[in-house]
Structure 1
Amino acid sequence: MPRADAHREAQPRREASGPSAAQPHHDVVIVGAGAVGLLLGCLLARRGLDVVVLERRTERGGRSRAIGIHPPGLRALGLVGLEPEVRSHAVEIRSGRVICRGRVLGALSFARAGTVLSLPQLQTEDVLERRLEELQPGSLRRGVEVVGLRDRGTHVEVAGTAGGEPVHVSARYAVGADGVRSGIRHLLGLGWEQRRGRAHYVMCDTRDDTGEPSTALLHFEPAGVVESFPLPGGGRRWVAWVHRPPAEPSAQQLETIVRSRTGAAFDVDDAGVPSAFEVRQHLAERMSRGRVALAGDAAHEISPIGGQGMNLGWLDAVRLDHELAAALSAGAPFEAFEAYDLVRRRAAARAIRQAAFNMAMGAPAHGLRLAARNAAVRVLAIPPLRALLANAFTMRWL
């Protein structure tokens, strides 16, 4: 992924190409080999397009973030032939239940809306990377840090470094899928608008001792929400709202929070390494400029709980695949991303509003506010609103 501190002289600009201008070597260059960049690479490669994916990291690593694969995201994976393999690795979340002080406020079945799959993002990216190598061997280039970008009007030139050596890549179009701290967004000079919704959470993966291996449990407690989701291999992810995240979170701290709020507990000795994170929401002022588009977290930062951000990014990739294929077959016009920018930015704004609502529902509440929130949950869990709530949870509206 590119640095966000590139010099001003590296800012992209549209320039007319003369007789000596370099011809593009690729159809599309994608910056960032996360879940979104890899899926877009697979989608384009399956069409026979010449795609190259540049990634700063020399190898995949870090902790898994998103785990939820919603029905629209699963359909996107199916376009590149990965639905059967993903299903074989994942666990199904067939239902959800909202609880407060031991009382069930509402229950949802996802039988009609579509089952949500749970699979750690690192495993999902591994599946996608292997598929990209099958479709177009050698198209992923790791260890390349992008530091410059120029839109020449007829093509895009990307400058980077790899092992201290300069790297130059040219393509008819470029896509920045390089995450929240997107260097491509910075090089394009696009604003990063903060939206409503901000909260702190601590998270840990444990052995599932709930006895409900296919149910998402949402504890809307007075002291703040505690959520837990099934994981493959008999695991469960616990996520808890906190007023201020600890400097070095421990499994013991999270277990204490879970037990004090919900009465549930998990085996600390069998827990993974916990983490703390802050949820903030942003939307790029535009999702494209000239021959360069943004996708996924580079275009919109959304609460990661439940996998909304990853699935939204995959839908960006599906739309980009359609727009790029049409543009390349029509002679690669300059204005290829106008419809994409309009449609996907609206979708991101809707997702941000829903995530902000979800965070507000999970914040601490007492007295009349707690009673009003619980009453609202009960109403939403009654037909026909229950079907609408299930559709929202599974992201079918995107």
Structure 2
Amino acid sequence: MSLPATTRVAIVGAGPTGLTLALTLAEAGVDFVLLDRQAEGANTSRAAVVHARTLEVLDELDPATCAELVRRGTAVTRFRIRDGADPLATVDFDGLPTAHSYALMVPQDQTEAVLLGRLHALGHEVHRPYEVTAVSQDAAGVTLTTATGETLRAAYAVGADGMHSTVREAAGIGFTGSAYGESFVLADVTMAWTPGPREVSLTFGAAGLTVVAPLPGGRYRVVATVDDAPAEPGLPLVQALLDARAPGQATVTDVVWSSRFRVHHRVADHYRAGRLLLAGDAAHVHSPAGGQGMNTGIQDGHALGRALSRALAAAPTTATALDEALDAYEATRRPVALRVVALTDRMTRIATTRNPALRAVRNTLLPLLARVPALNKRLATELAELNYR
């Protein structure tokens, strides 16, 4: 699609965060342009869980869209923690105060496809491939320049363009935090898995953290910490990891897709600098433990869409009302990111400790704590992100 000359809101990045922001603006009747540097959307699974609070947000945006996503996914109500083959604790999602008392396992490409389908139904498209290489702002608006030299003028620009955000760099906003030492293996596999497809399994071990989660179509997602993972982990490596960390429980027959990545835990110092705003991975990145990343980003997109709609409605009235509407976005969402980063960091460090004494304490305390109903429900509520309503 050709790039228009002007718009009210320019959204850089058409992942789940950018798509949700676009949908929220579309529903409010706010003009926007959604750009992405990729020629097409995601065709790999990447993030694979949609939590209860995110489903509530999507339900609010459009019940049919939420229903379609649920139809494409697998609902799981149990989160099991093990050390090797030994169960330590079970966290139950059923019974939570929500219409979606489960974790929905669904590949990210399906989540994006459902959101994009709704965007098309509302008469909008993603402008591809447009790589934004420069962003500048002045008192009247923002100018975005693409790699091809084309420009787009907007009242506001949102960086939903990931950890290496061009918009965040242009805004001069710091990204405080650091990286974990380990790399992560990510693989979607077909396999015989003894615990079966009705739970997400988080396995501790001296060699590192391993997560196995069911996906639609009989597949499983495997996430594992490895000191130095290869770029494309193959079947022998995935099988060896599971043999070492979950002995006798897995027989892998095929690796459908695999990757490696390194994880940072960082939060942007601010979510707004004048007319530039941040959402999703441009604003926060963290460990995949608990599957919080995409969920927090989708909720950012919805909250920012509402804030921008209020701000643009207030603009003809007073500048103060406009600033208050936009500042409320950071005031609401940045504390959520800080809390998510703290939670996932604790989970990762507890799971990956190699100190024998700490492991013994962990393995003794976890079963006791998990049997306390109030604590079990509290952890389930936190993982489901229902505390962020």
TM-score normalised to structure 1 length: 0.88
Superposed, which structure 2 residues align to 1:256-275 within 5 Å? Answer: 256-275=240-259
Instruction: Give distance in 2, aligned partners of 1:380 and 1:196.
Output: 30
The question of 1:241 aligning with 2:206 is answered no
Of the three residues 10, 21, 42, the one matched with 1:29 is: 10
Of 40, 45, 52, the residue aligned with 2:33 is 52
1:289 has 2:279 as partner = no
Contact kept? 2:214, 2:221, Cα under 8 Å: yes
> Is 1:75 matched up with 2:40?
no
Provide the residue aligned with 2:75 in structure 1: 92
**What does 1:176-255 correspond to in 2, within 5 Å?**
176-195=159-178, 199-210=182-193, 212-246=196-230, 248-255=232-239
1:196 to partner: Cα distance: 7.3
**Deviation per residue, 1:141-198 (Å, 9 max, x gap):** 111111222223232222224xx3x322222221110011111111111112115755
Give the aligned residue type for 1:396: L
Letter in 1 for 2:348: M
Q: CA deviation at 1:251?
A: 1.8
> Which structure 2 residue ranges, 5 or more long, are not aligned?
none
Kept in 2, the 8 Å contact 1:65–1:304? The answer is: no
Alpha-carbon spacing, 1:208–1:248, altered in 2? closer, same or farther (3 Å): closer
1:274 and 1:55 mapped to 2: Cα distance?
23
Detail structure 1 runs of 4+ shifted over 3 Å in the superposition.
195-199, 264-269
Conserved in 1, the CA contact under 8 Å of 2:21 and 2:302?
yes
Q: Which has the higher helix share?
A: 2
Partner of 2:352: 363
- 1:99 partner SS: strand
Out of 160, 176, 180, the residue aligned to residue 146 of structure 2 is 160
Partners of 1:144 and 1:167 within 8 A in 2: no
Q: 1:387 is paired with a residue of what secondary structure?
A: helix
List gaps (5 residues or longer) in structure 1.
1-23
359-368 or 311-320, which deviates more: 359-368
Residue number in structure 2 paired with 1:172: 155
Q: Any idea what the Cα deviations from partners look like across 1:346-391, whole Å, max 9, x if unmatched?
A: 1111111001101111114353211111123123312221111111
> Structure 1 pair 209/95, CA: closer, same or farther in 2 (3 Å)?
same
> Which residue is equivalent to 1:338?
327
Distance in 2 between residues matched to 1:291 and 1:366, nearest whole Å: 48
What is aligned with 2:119?
132
CA deviations on 1:330-354 (whole Å, 9 max, x unpaired) are: 1264624212122211111111100
* CA–CA separation in structure 1 for the residues paired with 2:102 and 2:127: 35
| Distance in 1 between residues matched to 2:312 and 2:114, nearest whole Å | 27
Alignment of 1:320 onto 2:304: yes
1:55-102: CA deviations, max 9, x gaps?
111112453211110011111222332110000100011111112243
What amino acid is aligned across from residue 385 of structure 1 in structure 2? L
C-alpha deviations, 1:187-234, integer Å up to 9, x for none? 111112115755322121112522521201111123222210010111
Instruction: Provide the rounded CA distance (Å) in 2 between the counterparts of 1:396 and 1:203.
Output: 27
Look up the match of 2:107: 120
1:108 paired to 2:118: no
Distance 1:246 1:151 in 2: 41
